[in-house]
Structure 1
Amino acid sequence: MSRRFVPVDRRILEQNIKARYHAGDIGTEDALHLFDELLQCAGSSSIRAINYLVTTVGRDSPALGVSLFNRVASANVAPNSMTYTILVDCCCRAGRLDLGFAAMGHIIKMGFAADAIVTFSHLLKAICAEKKTSYAMDIVLRIMPMFNCVPDNFSYNILFKGLCNERRSQEALELIHMMVQHGGSCQPNVVSYNTVVDGMLKEGEVDKAYTLFSEMLRQGISPDVVTCTSIISGMCKVHAMDKAEEVLQQMLDRRILPDAATYNCLIHGYYLLGHCEKVDRIFKEMSRNGVQPNIVTYNIQIIFARAEGAQKLGKYLIL
Structure 2
Amino acid sequence: MTTFKAFVTEKVGEKEFQQSIQSKNIQDLPEGDVLVKVAYSSLNYKDALSALGKPGVTKNYPHTPGIDASGVVVSSKDPQFKEGDEVIVTSYDLGMNTWGGFSEYIQVPSNWVVPMPKGLSLKSSMEVGTAGLTAAMSIYKLTQQVKADAGDIVVTGASGGVGSFAVAMLSKMGYSVVAVSGKSEDYLKKLGASKVVGRDEFLEGNQRPLLKPLYAGAVDTVGGDYLATAIKATLPLGVVTCCGNAASFDLPLNVFPFILRGVSLVGIDSQNFPYEERVKVWNNIASEWLPETSDITEEVNLEGLLEKINLIIKGGISGRVLVKVGE
More strand by percentage = 2
Taking CA–CA contacts closer than 8 Å with sequence separation of 6 or more, which of the two structures ends up with the larger relative contact order?
2
TM bin, normalised by shorter chain, reads: under 0.3
More helix by percentage = 1
Structure number, greater radius of gyration: 1
